Structure 1
Amino acid sequence: MDDLIRKGALFLMNEKCYDNYFLDHNFLDVPCFKALLSKGLGIGIIAGSVLVKVPQVLKILNAKSGEGINLLGVMLDLLAITFHMSYSFMNGYPFSSWGDNTFLAIQTVAIAVLVLFFGGRRPHAVIFLLGYATILYVLNSGMTSMRVLLAIQSCNIPILLVGKLSQALTNYRAGSTGQLSAATVILMFAGSLARIFTSIQETGDQMIILTFCASTFANGVIFAQLLYYWNKPVAGKKDVGKVKKPMKSKKAD
């Protein structure tokens, strides 16, 4: 039993912290607390990422429409997720610091395919899937050098900003967040915010930290729009349902 507890604890902390907590009973060790908090947040984010975009997928399926969803934004978001996932994987960073990107990538691919499918572009959806699978293989099979992976990781900041802010522009022009899922928007904002802390603790990679700062800002803009447009009618639909009264004709004198 003790051995099982030890193995479980060492999954969340290193040997030094295990000794501090379980042998020396030193529960006030700040570095160990930060490391444990970071690991717990990382695991929590990964668990949450399994379903984070599922509400968005279901909303598109139920509506049979991708109205209000900026396809360019989705594609750029997927590109940024994939670059970060490949860069972290090939660098050998802990799975808890980037594993959520695996599930986010799968769900973002599903959103892109559904938007294409319901937009009447079914052949494009198939081509997109094949193209993405090819890119994924090239980036994660060792065919791409670390220098190139670092370069594409550095491109993540403008990619994220353009992708997310193009969605924000779509929302602004429509005067609504359309088929965007509130649950997905909130979870994406909270997840990117928490990732700043976990990246500092587990990787110390300045490029990744800056990327999540940019991601938090961009997700925060969309989150603010979600709150602003919450109860506002969609532009152009404000008068739907109102019956216009017929004008009375003037009698001739």
Structure 2
Amino acid sequence: METVDPLKEFLLKYFMPEKCYNEFFHNFNFLYVPCQKIVLSKILGIWIMLGTLIVKLPQILKLLRAKSAQGLSFTSVLLELFAVTGGMVYCIAHNFPVGAWGDTVFIVIQTLAIGFLIQHFGGNTTRGVGFVVVYCGLLSLLVSPLTPMLVATTMQASNVPAVIVGQLIQAETNYHNGHTGQLSAVSVFLLFVGSLARVFTSAQDTGDSLMTLGCMVTSCCNALIAGQVLCYWNRGPAVKEKAE
């Protein structure tokens, strides 16, 4: 009975097809570019998946510590939530594997929490609870068989415009305030690096130019916010008020 090499089984399951395993470990051709791209895409995909588990936690923790959501745009959060939900609903409607959209659930939960905290620290706790309840109700409806496929497709098509508008609103808020308020630099830079990685993985794994373009546009928007974080690094509400 042939024994299975645990290392080989692990590599084939998570990082490369068997043809690449043979190319690397039988032919010792580690410079074979097509397989290098496949392995890099797999590594980035795993990194993105793990990153989504914690990408917004620094933002949530910063809000809880400061007990303030100053500088964060609720409208921007709503548009981001719409974009993320649209992609998740589209994948579920097409019966894509959970691996293709499962990480999105963590983004949704974290974004929903940020939206609630913005309302809560703004003195509108009841509105924040209503926001969460209404969203959960709408999501249940969207993932049910009652929702036509056209709705899921339309939401998916609206992803990029929603992300662009949402990020521009946040950027305008930062510019108007002269600081980034309680915006978490850690979360901003994790989102930026993650969006750059998605450009490569979408091009490598899907070959869909429209999807890749969407990822590139998202990266540019995230770069704008990251640039503002660096620009306003030593500026905050107290600093601005003192300057005025």
Q: Specify if TM > 0.5.
A: yes
Report what 2:86 is aligned to: 83
Q: Trace 1:64-75 onto structure 2 (pairs within 5 A).
A: 64-75=67-78
Report what 2:197 is aligned to: 194
TM-score for the superposition, normalised by structure 1:
0.85
**Bigger radius of gyration:** 1
Query: Over residues 43-64 of structure 1, what are the superposed CA-to-partner deviations in whole Å (9 max), with x where a residue is unaligned?
Result: 0111122111111101111111
Counterpart selection for 1:165 from 159, 165, 168: 168
Residue 6 in 1 paired to residue 44 in 2? no
> What's the secondary structure of 1:80's corresponding residue?
helix
- Contact 1:168–1:222 (Cα < 8 Å) also in 2: yes
> What's the secondary structure of 1:65's corresponding residue?
coil
What value does the CA root-mean-square deviation take over the aligned residues?
2.2
- Contact 2:58–2:186 (Cα < 8 Å) also in 1: yes
Report what 1:137 is aligned to: 140
Q: Separation in 2 of the partners of 1:92 and 1:206?
A: 22
**Unpaired segments of 5 or more residues in structure 2?**
none
- Contact 1:52–1:188 (Cα < 8 Å) also in 2: yes
Q: Separation in 1 of the partners of 2:149 and 2:27?
A: 42
Report what 1:175 is aligned to: 178
Residue 126 in 1 paired to residue 129 in 2? yes
> What's the secondary structure of 1:217's corresponding residue?
helix
TM-score for the superposition, normalised by structure 2:
0.88
Q: Separation in 2 of the partners of 1:149 and 1:171?
A: 32
Runs of 4+ in 1 over 6 A off after TM superposition: none
> What's the secondary structure of 2:196's corresponding residue?
helix
Q: Trace 1:202-241 onto structure 2 (pairs within 5 A).
A: 202-234=205-237, 236-239=240-243
Counterpart selection for 1:151 from 127, 148, 154: 154
Q: How has the CA–CA distance of structure 1 residues 76 and 210 changed in structure 2, closer, same or farther, with 3 Å as cutoff?
A: same
Aligned residue identity for 1:201? Q
Q: Trace 1:30-109 onto structure 2 (pairs within 5 A).
A: 30-91=33-94, 98-109=101-112
Q: Separation in 2 of the partners of 1:30 and 1:93?
A: 29
- Contact 1:97–1:198 (Cα < 8 Å) also in 2: no
Q: Separation in 2 of the partners of 1:142 and 1:204?
A: 30
Q: Separation in 1 of the partners of 2:242 and 2:196?
A: 36
1 or 2, which has the higher helix percentage?
2
- Contact 1:52–1:184 (Cα < 8 Å) also in 2: yes
Q: Separation in 1 of the partners of 2:38 and 2:70?
A: 42
Aligned residue identity for 2:118? V
Aligned residue identity for 1:162? V
Aligned residue identity for 1:175? G
> What's the secondary structure of 2:241's corresponding residue?
coil
Aligned residue identity for 1:26? N
Mean Cα deviation higher: 172-181 or 89-98 = 89-98
Q: Separation in 1 of the partners of 2:207 and 2:151?
A: 20
Cα distance, 1:158 vs structure 2: 1.1
Q: How many pairs does the alignment contain? A: 240
- Contact 1:52–1:187 (Cα < 8 Å) also in 2: yes
